[in-house]
């Protein structure tokens, strides 16, 4: 059976702040059956997680349901998690990019908490910052997809946590200084945090949203502060920590099942909503992870 398959393409090169017109919804077709002997897999995509790099490559972490499979490891109606092109359906030729969600009773969370956003928060906080119970933690863009999870991990450990969704003025809540700063903003926010850091403070730099569009005032921390306080600042990508994915997945899944971790999502409907939802990320319009519901399970 052949069906229509809507998908997203980059229409224009991005300059400075992205616009809705930079992305375009197109319609193709896909056959929902496989030739005899094929080991391909056809996925009906259910949920797509929008990232800041949507304007570079239209791929994202997706939860989907298997429609047809020639691969013995996956059968029809299996729920899977993987990185696919943003479309209503995907033809998968490489099984290594798929993770079956058969053991997960909450697959709807896969695109956020159990994907790269969760791994970014987990690895940045635990692997880079090496936190101790009672330490003082500052998180920027704490209402965002990664920031809200980093803050929750810190609270679960027993840290004193302050989250900031905009102004750097919240550093005043640390009269005795900051031990750990989970940075998603860079610029003036990083500058203010470093000025309030304690000796041997740690900064995990997950993002620099203040500079993504090329606008705004450039700022950098005081290098003397970094030297005299012996502050450790390190940038990272979730892909750097795939070696801890199993540990992250198991612990985070347990937190979700026991209600210790709250899922915060900002949901839009349909492929057509992706261009405006993507632009909204750069304007700070989302609360939690921006998710597109592509289809009902």
Segments forming the whole domain that contains residue 214? 116-239
Looking at residue 54, what is its pLDDT?
54
CATH of the domain at 103: 3.90.180.10
> Do 20 and 100 share a domain, yes or no?
yes
> Do 44 and 124 share a domain, yes or no?
no
95 domain-assigned: yes
**Matching residue, tokens 């203010």:** 192
CATH of the domain at 226: 3.40.50.720
Looking at residue 136, what is its pLDDT?
97
Residue 138 CA: distances (Å) to CA of 72, 231, 239: 47, 15, 23
Q: Between these two residues, 193 and 295, which has the higher pLDDT value?
A: 193
> Do 121 and 233 share a domain, yes or no?
yes
**Spatial separation of the C-alpha atoms in residues 67 and 55, rounded to whole Å:** 28
CA dihedral 263, 264, 269, 273 (to 10 degrees): -140
> Do 136 and 223 share a domain, yes or no?
yes
Q: Could you tell me the maximum CA-CA distance found in the chain, to the nearest angstrom?
A: 68
132 domain-assigned: yes
> Do 179 and 197 share a domain, yes or no?
yes
Looking at residue 169, what is its pLDDT?
67
> Do 99 and 132 share a domain, yes or no?
no
**Spatial separation of the C-alpha atoms in residues 3 and 32, rounded to whole Å:** 7
97 domain-assigned: yes
> Do 126 and 177 share a domain, yes or no?
yes
Provide the domain count of the chain.
2
136 domain-assigned: yes
33 pLDDT above the threshold of 90: yes
Looking at the chain, the whole-number percentage of residues with pLDDT higher than 70 is 90
> Do 99 and 192 share a domain, yes or no?
no
Tens digits of per-residue pLDDT, 93-129? 877 678 887 655 555 666 678 888 899 999 999 999 9
> Do 227 and 164 share a domain, yes or no?
yes
- Model pTM greater than 0.85? no
4 near 271, Cβ under 8 Å?
Answer: no
255 domain-assigned: no
Mean pLDDT of 288-294: 85
Tens digits of per-residue pLDDT, 115-167? 888 999 999 999 999 999 999 999 998 888 899 999 999 999 999 999 987 66
44 near 272, Cβ under 8 Å?
Answer: no
Dihedral sign of CA atoms 86, 87, 88, 89 in order: negative
**Spatial separation of the C-alpha atoms in residues 201 and 181, rounded to whole Å:** 8
* Radius of gyration of the chain, Cα coordinates, nearest whole angstrom: 20
| Average pLDDT of the chain, as a whole number | 87
80 domain-assigned: yes
Domain boundary among 199, 223, 239: 239
| 3-state DSSP of the chain | CEEEEEEEEECCCCCCCCCHHHEEEEEEEEECCCCCCCCCEEEEEEEEECCHHHHCCCEEEEEEEEEEECCCCCCCCCEEEEEEECECEEEECCHHHEEECCCCCCHHHCCCCCCHHHHHHHHHHHHHCCCCCCCEEEEECCCECCHHHHHHHHHHHCCEEEEECCCHHHHHHCCCCEEEEEECCCHHHHHHHHHCEEEEEEEEECCCHHHCCCCCCCCCCCHHHHHHCCCEEEECCHHHHHHHHHHHHHHHHHHHHCCCCCCCEEEEECHHHHHHHHHHHHCCCCCEEEEEECCCC
Which of 5-9, 54-58, 59-63, 292-296 tops mean pLDDT? 5-9
27 domain-assigned: yes
Looking at residue 108, what is its pLDDT?
63
200 pLDDT above the threshold of 90: yes
- Report the Cα–Cα distance between both ends of the chain, in Å, rounded: 19
**Spatial separation of the C-alpha atoms in residues 240 and 225, rounded to whole Å:** 28
């Amino acid at each position: 059976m052949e069906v229509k398959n809507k998908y997203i393409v980059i229409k224009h090169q991005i300059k400075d702040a992205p616009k809705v017109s930079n992305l375009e919804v197109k319609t193709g077709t896909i056959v929902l059956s496989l030739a005899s002997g094929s080991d391909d897999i056809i996925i009906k995509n259910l949920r797509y997680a929008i990232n800041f790099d949507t304007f570079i490559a239209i791929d994202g972490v997706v939860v989907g349901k298997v429609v047809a499979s020639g691969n013995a490891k996956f059968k029809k109606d299996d729920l899977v998690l993987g990185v696919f092109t943003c479309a209503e359906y995907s033809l998968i030729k490489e099984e290594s990019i798929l993770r079956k969600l058969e053991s997960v009773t909450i697959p709807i969370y896969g695109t956020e908490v159990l994907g790269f956003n969760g791994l970014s928060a987990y690895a940045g906080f635990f692997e880079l910052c090496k936190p101790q119970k009672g330490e003082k933690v500052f998180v920027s863009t704490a209402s965002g997809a990664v920031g809200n999870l980093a803050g929750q991990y810190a609270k679960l450990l027993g840290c004193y946590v302050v989250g900031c969704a905009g102004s750097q003025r919240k550093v005043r809540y640390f009269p005795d200084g900051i031990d750990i700063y989970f940075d998603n903003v860079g610029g003036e926010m990083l500058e203010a945090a470093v000025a309030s850091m304690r000796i041997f403070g740690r900064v995990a730099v997950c993002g620099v949203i203040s500079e993504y569009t090329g606008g705004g005032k450039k700022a950098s921390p005081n290098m003397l502060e970094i030297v005299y306080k012996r502050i450790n600042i390190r940038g990272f990508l979730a892909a750097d920590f795939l070696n801890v994915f199993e540990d992250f997945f198991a612990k985070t899944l347990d937190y979700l099942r026991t209600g210790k971790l709250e899922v915060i999502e900002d949901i839009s409907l349909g492929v057509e909503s992706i261009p405006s939802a993507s632009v909204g990320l750069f304007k700070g319009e989302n609360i939690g992870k921006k998710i597109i519901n592509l289809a009902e399970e």
